[in-house]
Chain A
Amino acid sequence: MASVTLRGIRKDFGRTQVIKGIDLAIEDKEFVVFVGPSGCGKSTLLRLIAGLEDATAGDILIGGRTVNTVAPKDRNIAMVFQNYALYPPMTVARNLGFGLRAARLPAAEIDRRVNEAAAMLGLETLLARRPGELSGGQRQRVAMGRALVRDPQVFLFDEPLSNLDAQLRNQVRTEIKKLHQQIRTTAIYVTHDQVEAMTLADRIVLLRDGRIEQVGTPTDLFERPANRFVAGFIGSPAMNFFPARLDGAEIVLPWMRLPCPPFATAPTDGRITLGIRPEDFLAGTDTHAVPEACRFEAQVGVVEPMGSESLLVINAAGTDIQVRLIGRAFPQTGSTLGFAVNPAELHVFDAATGNTLRR
């Protein structure tokens, strides 16, 4: 069990700066997810913690000990790779025991721990097979088992689910969460999938271009995004953004004037970006729940019924808006309907910097 601390971490590959200064404190037993668009440096950061890469600057501490010059094997970590990196010539049992053999543990102890991990992951019947004879999901579990047997202080995962199909991914995601609740070892998990991040994380670290955009619980990032990038990255379908102007206590949009939420500070030039999530719109009689000023009329363009909810694209004064309505009923394409905005869920960003104007 251990905390992980990053202090001023930078990493250059030749002349390209990939990690541009990262400070982060991960607590013992915490499940932290690094998420961000492709190429933002998530894997690199994880590999720095693992010791597979050397930091250009900064300190890495595991369990309070600086490990900058400590070899990967002595950092007491285990890593699950995206392609699983199971050794093809070896059986599952030998794959699981590889690290223990390297540590020269007695054979009986190796057997015991391999069987224990196999039982935990339901791999007992697969122990004699080779990786080539396993399905994708089984391989994934063997990779997890190989990390598990080492009883590490920190688990590192690099996109462990990206090679699985959608259904299996949901299932294994749940298993990983259960496993973590069971063994309570610090875990750092890399993904570019915000759904994985939201469902697994105690805390999410959202990265962009080698820097941290925001650190917080999934709820923090969803409800109080620090900037426009975070707001757009977290949540699906993505948040709507509208260029708008702040006029006293009102937000001016081409098709309506909204009361400005009290928590927002005004930018110097009054130009803002208003963010509204698709699910924060109301339609039909539901609109009576909000003040008159929050209501507007719009034409329904596209309707995508999804069973228990529907996704719409509506058009107000020439602006397309993504709307998600809960419930089985959905409006007709082409009809004009009353909609409303939930005034408690407005996100106001400085148009120039993209930073939130929330106080």
Chain B
Amino acid sequence: MQGWFSGLTLARKQAVWAWVFLAVPLAFFTLVRFWPALDAFALSLSRWNLVGPRKYVGLANYERMAADPVFWQVLGNTFEYLLLGLPASLLLAFLVAFHLDRIQTGQGLLRALYFLPHLTTATAMAWVWRWFYQPPPVGLLNAWLTALGFAQQPFLRSTTQALPAVLVPAIWAALGFQVVIFMAGLKAIPRSYYEAAEIDGAGSWQILREITLPLLLPSLVFLFITTSIGLLRIFDLVYNITAGGEGGPLNATKPLVLSIYQSAFGRMDMGYASAQTVVLFVILLALSLLQMRLLRSRP
């Protein structure tokens, strides 16, 4: 052993040591992450209640899913979170970062304030917002609406307003992180581009469209993907903000992950939960592949 190792070149020795160190986390990861994940595929073809024996049922879980109106509603909700939340969230973050980048005094403090919600636990935040949305006299928002002479709103109790109402704190929570990423991207653009454009007489719209946004593309793609994944996996906020963790009136706010959770740990239907997990996995995988494509095709 000693002789074998000392016979290697320096580069090989370093490689051997690197593999020795990497093997430990790799084994751990395989055990606690990859294996259960792979097992989920097998599980999605079975029926299992967590304690009894596993029974192979073929594609029965998927057939059941396709025929389940609640599944389709939940999938629709998930994409509604994505399609409403993504543009709103990125636009808002860009506007904040863009203007924050222009001010000199208090920039650090303001950025820290925007970042703060990112450090808060979703559960605590959910409960605070849940209180905001309560009907009067408890709810803050309705109290304000009344004070300003507007009609009261049902918010979480309405099938149409509940989902956007859940989305607002989700966007607010993600804002800090996105602002920080956007600001880093903006700061990386050399000042001389703006100065050259100023001398060239470009208006702010031309500068934004032809210089700032193209140079911000890497940050934009990164946030596009991370935000999408975050929205597609939305769970703890919904679970805590809706009464009893049920997913809103008539499942109005229920996202896919909450549905998976309920199938698995509410009804002990591990096979059905796994089948839904596989669907989510496929969506996330497609999105990640899209990201790699977008980043690579960049000039």
Interface centre among B201, B210, B215 (most CB of A within 10 A): B201
Asked if B199 is an interface residue, CB under 8 A from chain A, the answer is yes
B202: A residues at CB distance < 8 A: 73, 98-99, 102
- Bound-state CA distance A83–B192 (Å) is 8
Q: In the complex, what's the smallest C-beta–C-beta distance from B204 to chain A, in angstroms?
A: 11
- Chain B interface secondary structure, helix, strand, loop or mixed? helix
Interface centre among A74, A81, A90 (most CB of B within 10 A): A81
Q: In the complex, what's the smallest C-beta–C-beta distance from A54 to chain B, in angstroms?
A: 13
Q: Is the CB of B196 within 8 A of A81?
A: yes
Q: Is the CB of A98 within 8 A of B214?
A: no
Q: Is the CB of A98 within 8 A of B199?
A: no
Count of chain A residues with a beta carbon within 8 Å of a chain B beta carbon: 27
Interface centre among A50, A79, A132 (most CB of B within 10 A): A79
B201: A residues at CB distance < 8 A: 72-74, 99, 102-103
Q: Is the CB of A101 within 8 A of B199?
A: no
- 16 residue pairs of the A-B complex, CB under 8 angstroms, read A52-B195, A52-B199, A71-B198, A73-B200, A74-B201, A78-B199, A81-B195, A81-B196, A85-B192, A85-B195, A88-B214, A88-B215, A89-B210, A98-B200, A99-B200, A102-B206
Q: In the complex, what's the smallest C-beta–C-beta distance from A161 to chain B, in angstroms?
A: 16
Q: Is the CB of A102 within 8 A of B192?
A: no
A50: B residues at CB distance < 8 A: 195, 199
A90: B residues at CB distance < 8 A: 210
* Mask: chain B, 162-190; 1 = CB below 8 Å from A; 0 = not: 00000000000000000000000000001
Count of chain B residues with a beta carbon within 8 Å of a chain A beta carbon: 19
Q: Is the CB of B206 within 8 A of A89?
A: no
| Nearest B residue (CB) for A98 | B200
- Bound-state CA distance A150–B211 (Å) is 19
Asked if B193 is an interface residue, CB under 8 A from chain A, the answer is yes
Asked if B299 is an interface residue, CB under 8 A from chain A, the answer is yes
Q: Is the CB of B199 within 8 A of A73?
A: yes
Q: In the complex, what's the smallest C-beta–C-beta distance from B184 to chain A, in angstroms?
A: 17
Interface centre among A50, A83, A85 (most CB of B within 10 A): A85
Which residues of A from 43 to 80 have beta carbons under 8 Å from B? 50-52, 71-74, 77-79
Asked if A255 is an interface residue, CB under 8 A from chain B, the answer is no
A257: B residues at CB distance < 8 A: none
Asked if B60 is an interface residue, CB under 8 A from chain A, the answer is no
A71: B residues at CB distance < 8 A: 198
Q: Is the CB of B190 within 8 A of A102?
A: no
Taking Cβ atoms with an 8 Å cutoff, the residues of A that contact B are 50-52, 71-74, 77-79, 81-83, 85, 87-90, 98-99, 101-103, 130, 132, 146, 150
Q: Is the CB of B198 within 8 A of A73?
A: yes
A74: B residues at CB distance < 8 A: 201
State which of B192, B197, B200, B214 has its C-beta within 8 Å of the C-beta of A150. B200
Q: Is the CB of B190 within 8 A of A85?
A: yes
- Bound-state CA distance A33–B177 (Å) is 48
Nearest 6 A/B pairs, CB to CB: A73-B201, A99-B200, A89-B214, A85-B192, A85-B196, A102-B202
Which residues of B from 199 to 237 have beta carbons under 8 Å from A? 199-203, 206, 210-211, 214-215, 217
Q: Is the CB of B211 within 8 A of A87?
A: yes
| Nearest A residue (CB) for B202 | A102
Interface centre among B192, B206, B211 (most CB of A within 10 A): B192
- Bound-state CA distance A77–B199 (Å) is 7
- Bound-state CA distance A79–B201 (Å) is 12
Q: In the complex, what's the smallest C-beta–C-beta distance from B119 to chain A, in angstroms?
A: 34
